[in-house]
Homo-oligomer: A and B are copies of this chain.
Amino acid sequence: MGKGTLLYAQSGGVTAVINASASAVIQTARAKKIKVLAAKNGILGALREELIDTSKMSLAQVKALAHTPGGAFGSCRFKLKSIEADFARYQRLLEVFKAHDVRWFLYNGGNDSADTALKLSQLASSSGYPLTCIGVPKTVDNDLVLTDCCPGFGSAAKYTAVSVAEAALDVAAMAETSTKVFVYEVMGRHAGWLAAAAGLAGKSADAAPQIILFPEIAFDEAKFLAKVKATVDKVGYCVVVVSEGLRHANGKFVAESEGSVDAFGHSQLGGVGPLIASLVKDKLSMKVHWTVPDYLQRSARHLASKTDLAHALAVGKAAVEYALKGMNGVMPIIVRTSDRPYRWKVQAESLDNIANAEKKMPADFISRDGYGITAACRTYLEPLIKGEAPPPYGADGLPKYVSPKFSLLATKLPRFTG
């Protein structure tokens, strides 16, 4: 090969389909005879010169990544600061890239990663090293700007809508003598995209979830309790979806406000779901149950959205194509060209326009009472959970997920202690 290598790294919280992007990156590059290295545990592996040679992977392994959740090469939460503040690290990254002839760097993550990729591309350019940096979008939070949606979100959204629909059938069947109020906590600290996705579970006015508590709407305890009571009176039960990012009017997270202590005398961890459940139980004396799916919602590859998978594969493929064309400092984004039928395409957007920005839910996606989604929201969300893409299953009843063991490339540089 000798014409340069491509380095791929995963960043931030993983998703059900980030490995599908990895699979597409590797397959596309292989078809063009480009060697793909992967950084172990994201940018940390690049700093430490812990690099994986993906050409050792069989085609079957590479293809199997596309149906395996998690982050096959390891990911990390590690944000580089400004070039000034983190100069030694940026320099080190360029040294590692030079040592392994990395000419293309693909960073698969959210807006922090877009920022890092952008800074690296600028530094390389100013230091005369020919490097093309591409961001590959990924986040269940769906909070990247400009792209219509983020790969990873659609599958988490589908998991949420299906799980809420299933639990609601359970609650409805038992409400007469058992649980009257069911509380479902979703991820989304800053924006209610996954909370909104729960709204897809029900289409009619009284269908579950009857109440969604969005991070965008300040929590009003009295109004909420009145709505729960009215719903139970009318429907017989009430399913409440609450975002982990729910806030009081003063801006504080509801999950932070209690400062409660558990049976061990330890500070209670997280859990706005159980807090809301306790509130309903104490104030309305109704039997409640609650669920916190936590990581299950972002790793449920078994229930991936076919649309989401297609997006993840497409941005991986486009990222390599852009890289090889030398389109420095861009990210392939999803552009929606039609709602019904749903049509989309991939196009390049400057990382400069994406880094460090955050997409909020449009105000007109939340119903007037603050507890539901609008038709506009449904039109936006529905295509994203469309279609099924189940993994293959083994004779043991489990999905055939792969977790290849990788050996690292021999290092060429002294150890980095920065």
Contact A163 B397, beta carbon cutoff 8 Å? no
Distance from A194 Cβ to chain B, minimum over Cβ atoms (Å): 15
Which residues in window 297-344 of A have CB below 8 A to B? 298-303, 305, 307
Q: Is the CB of B387 within 8 A of A296?
A: no
In the bound complex, residues from chain B placing their C-beta under 8 Å from that of A390 are 388, 390
Q: How far is the CB of A336 from chain B (nearest CB, A)?
A: 16
What chain B residues lie within 8 Å of A301 (beta carbons)?
166
B275 touches A264 (CB 8 A): yes
Q: How far is the CB of A331 from chain B (nearest CB, A)?
A: 21
Assembled-state Cα–Cα distance A278/B278 (Å): 18
A85 within 8 A of B: no
A76-B178, A268-B274 known; A398 and B173 CB under 8 Å?
no
| Docked pose: A200 CA to B396 CA in angstroms | 9
Could you tell me if B169 and A68 are in contact, using CB atoms closer than 8 angstroms? yes
The reply to whether A302 and B78 form a contact with Cβ atoms under 8 Å apart is: no
A74 and B401 contact, CB distance less than 8 A: no
Q: Which chain B residues lie closer than 8 Å to A263 at the CB level?
A: 177-178, 254-257, 275, 287
Q: Are B303 and A275 in contact (CB under 8 A)?
A: no
Query: Can you offer 30 A-B residue contacts whose CB atoms are under 8 A?
Result: A13-B178, A14-B170, A69-B170, A70-B166, A74-B174, A76-B176, A76-B177, A162-B398, A163-B296, A166-B296, A166-B299, A166-B401, A167-B295, A169-B401, A169-B403, A177-B263, A182-B295, A200-B397, A263-B275, A268-B278, A269-B281, A269-B290, A270-B274, A289-B294, A289-B295, A385-B397, A386-B396, A388-B390, A388-B397, A390-B390
Interface residues of A (CB under 8 A from B): 10, 13-14, 16, 41, 44, 68-78, 158, 161-163, 165-174, 176-179, 182, 200-201, 254-257, 260, 262-264, 266-271, 274-275, 277-279, 281-282, 287-296, 298-303, 305, 307, 382, 385-388, 390, 393, 395-399, 401, 403
